[in-house]
A and B are shown apart, each in its own frame.
Chain A
């Protein structure tokens, strides 16, 4: 069991308090990288005969499944897949055709010293500002069922958090109202864009007889 629990627990709580101070409303602003955008109707691939699909989703932190985040982010992913119009039904059960869509969003650090930056901002009660970034790599696998080959596409997005009074605005990013809005926006954009790339693949077009 935890060998350093007694030493580490007070430390963890103290840091949590520092974090929360830094995150008080007005102290933190959230931005989503603008390299991806919400697809227009003209940009979306359409299919002539959409079929049901079984959706699997895994949110990872540095490549390791994060069960709690998976549970909480899943509704955003389901919404993005349903909104693509590529499938008649999105279900957690096996689809009649055997088609499976596996969505993985892997949260990776963008700045190695992100923790130190956040700590300094909190420690100085926001006087020393900083920007930190979270990277998200979205990988979508589509298994058409039967003997069709697996299709895999991947895209990246990022969320930036500005902490403190002197933090600048991150370049190439759109400001959003809250951390939750940042996550919703990032998931919607990275999933819909990656899924659109899957739909553009010749293999996908053949399985659904695209127009």
Chain B
């Protein structure tokens, strides 16, 4: 039995059989909250998050982890899930303001998971834009990845892969909040991209 089986059994969350699963809503993290507070960023909100031009539609629609297909609760779009992950952190830090003229938008450029008999790997990347009153003040490609010890046995490997893949959304949000160019653009102290 793998670690966490008590929780999995109690909550019906065993993730071993082939099926389609919808990601739960993204949750804010303490790491993001502390960065947002310390960085004295102004309030902002998210705008459009969509797949980048040329991206295969299925990359935005789902990610396959062995026999499990993961999809997004937001119109079946993983790019929109990224936007919601950023939203969740902004809201938790008190930095979300739907009326702000600072708007974060994004184009999903990659979402992938692969695991072999012993090593797992997942990556997520997006082109993020910040506009102020409609003018682009920041634009950058951001990418995050995860590596972990995988297992031949799906009962162990699948939950680990799902957790590592899902954690990338918060990692990408944190990478954005930590970006000095982003902070400078948001605070109006940068010339723009």
B164 partner residues in chain A, CB cutoff 8 A? 64
Asked whether B11 lies within 8 Å of A62 as measured between CB atoms, the reply is: no
Q: Say whether, besides A56-B33, A66-B4, A2 and B153 are in contact (CB < 8 Å).
A: no
Q: Which residue of A lies closest to B152 (CB)?
A: A8
Q: How far is the CA of A66 from the CA of B183 in the complex (A)?
A: 29
A19 to nearest B CB, angstroms? 7
Q: Say whether, besides A141-B30, A161-B1, A9 and B18 are in contact (CB < 8 Å).
A: yes
A133 to nearest B CB, angstroms? 9
Q: How far is the CA of A54 from the CA of B29 in the complex (A)?
A: 12
B148 partner residues in chain A, CB cutoff 8 A? 64
Interface size class for chain B? 35 or more
Q: Is B76 an interface residue (CB 8 A)?
A: no
* Chain B interface residues toward A at CB < 8 A: 1-11, 13-18, 21, 23-30, 33-34, 37, 63-67, 91-94, 112-117, 148, 152-160, 162-164, 166-167, 170
B116 partner residues in chain A, CB cutoff 8 A? 3-4
Count, chain A residues at interface, CB 8 A: 64
* Chain A interface residues toward B at CB < 8 A: 1-5, 8-9, 11-13, 15-16, 19, 22-23, 30, 54, 56-62, 64-73, 92-94, 98, 100, 102, 107-110, 114-115, 117-119, 132, 134-135, 141, 143, 159, 161, 163, 178-183, 186
Asked whether A69 lies within 8 Å of B16 as measured between CB atoms, the reply is: no
B14 partner residues in chain A, CB cutoff 8 A? 16, 19
Q: Which residue of B lies closest to A13 (CB)?
A: B17
Q: How far is the CA of A181 from the CA of B10 in the complex (A)?
A: 8
